[in-house]
Structure 1
Amino acid sequence: MRRMLLSVGVVALLATGSVASARQSDTLIGDSRRQQGLESEMGRLRMGQTGGARAGVCPLVRGASAEINTYVTARLRQVADQVGAEYAHHDCEPNVVVLFSPNPDELVAEATRAKRFNYRGVAAQDVERFKTSSQPVRWIHGSATPGFKTHDARPYNALVIVDSNKAADIKVSTLADYVSLIALADVRVRPAPAEGSIMNLFDSAADGTPQAMTEADRAYLRAVHSRRY
């Protein structure tokens, strides 16, 4: 049986309206205290099963300003289109969830206690790594075949949490590209490019880290979603 890492029962999905107005040069500075709104969204999370992202990526981005949430969502869709990832075009249950929070440890702890996140089928070490991560961005992928090794790095479902304090000085466009890469491919199943990749964004030892998704990154995602191994 397919088991979801998370399931979101959302009364209203991504808000409809104008195109994202956040400038690409904007950062999260001054936008990291929206916890009340995020907690409201978290109240809508429930355990259960939804369609996997392989049948169509359905993102939900919450926790930042409306403009930044919409920008990141739009960028996810744009990258998915560029690399050949299936995208849900109708009403859907979110299977790629991105949450911005100034207190990610508290968010994860509370969500775990309230059973908002369902870790069944995810390796224990991966769950522990996710819960205890101190990185500006942490993520975890669910599996369509729990307990079985796979070389298929396409996301079945993904949860990404951005520490909006630690990532406060990163350009929104840069952060959106980084999130798109880790959300649209399970880089632990199939590693992303070691060099010339936005994956090195938070690697202090890396020189000249790209501030946008590179052609190597897009080639990697295209290969993942065409299932060429």
Structure 2
Amino acid sequence: MTVTGQAPQARTETMRGFTRSYAAPSMLTGKLALWSVPICPLIIGLQPAEKMAVSERIEKDAKAVGAPEQVQQSCKPNVIVAFAPNPQELMTKIVEDHWNLARTVFGDIDGPMHARIVRCPLSK
């Protein structure tokens, strides 16, 4: 078995590209928004140990880019990461069954909402 990882610089470029593909600059400042509160991830669709690994990775990466650090043991989730065998089906169901919530969470969207399959190693 061969496992191939990414150098930190390559991983940083991957994250920047991913962010640029999803995020739009603020209409007020023309810049990407920054987190002003600690990130509290909610991971759905994985086993407990996998959820913990993903959550820790998100918190580690958030800290590395200067986001405020979560100091409380429990917090109110403000980032949701869902793993599903069919992500498009999941997103379609969320939009169909909970449109008002989806509109609040995902913003004022025109056109269809799409889930993306992202393949990114979870190496530490």
Q: Which runs of 5+ in 1 are unaligned?
A: 1-24, 26-52, 138-166, 175-229
Whether 1:113 aligns to 2:63 is: no
Contact 1:56 1:86 in 2 (8 A): yes
Whether 1:123 aligns to 2:108 is: yes
CA separation of 1:81 and 1:171: change in aligned 2, threshold 3 A: closer
CA separation of 1:79 and 1:172: change in aligned 2, threshold 3 A: closer
Percent identical among aligned pairs is 26
Shift of 1:173: 2.4
Shift of 1:96: 0.8
CA separation of 1:171 and 1:55: change in aligned 2, threshold 3 A: closer
Alignment deviations for residues 167-202 of structure 1 (CA, whole Å, 9 cap, x no partner): 4xx53328xxxxxxxxxxxxxxxxxxxxxxxxxxxx
- What is the rounded CA distance, in whole Å, between the counterparts of 1:172 and 1:78 in structure 2? 12
Q: TM-score, normalised by structure 1?
A: 0.33
What SS class does the counterpart of residue 93 from structure 1 fall into? coil
**Which position in structure 1 is the counterpart of 2:45?**
63
Contact 1:59 1:73 in 2 (8 A): yes
Whether 1:173 aligns to 2:120 is: no
Contact 1:61 1:99 in 2 (8 A): yes
**Aligned residue among 66, 69, 74 for 2:56:** 74
Q: How many residues align?
A: 88
Amino acid at match of 2:57: R
Amino acid at match of 1:57: I
- What is the rounded CA distance, in whole Å, between the counterparts of 2:39 and 2:123 in structure 1? 20
CA separation of 1:73 and 1:123: change in aligned 2, threshold 3 A: same
In the TM superposition, structure 1's runs of 4+ consecutive aligned residues that sit over 6 Å from their partners are none
**Which position in structure 2 is the counterpart of 1:136?**
117
Shift of 1:67: 2.2
Alignment deviations for residues 12-42 of structure 1 (CA, whole Å, 9 cap, x no partner): xxxxxxxxxxxxx6xxxxxxxxxxxxxxxxx
Shift of 1:75: 1.0
1:16-31 → structure 2 map (5 Å cutoff): none
Contact 1:68 1:172 in 2 (8 A): no
Contact 1:58 1:87 in 2 (8 A): no
- What is the rounded CA distance, in whole Å, between the counterparts of 1:95 and 1:136 in structure 2? 21
Shift of 1:108: 1.2
Amino acid at match of 1:65: Q
1:146-165 → structure 2 map (5 Å cutoff): none
Alignment deviations for residues 191-227 of structure 1 (CA, whole Å, 9 cap, x no partner): xxxxxxxxxxxxxxxxxxxxxxxxxxxxxxxxxxxxx
Q: Which runs of 5+ in 2 are unaligned?
A: 4-34
Contact 1:61 1:73 in 2 (8 A): yes
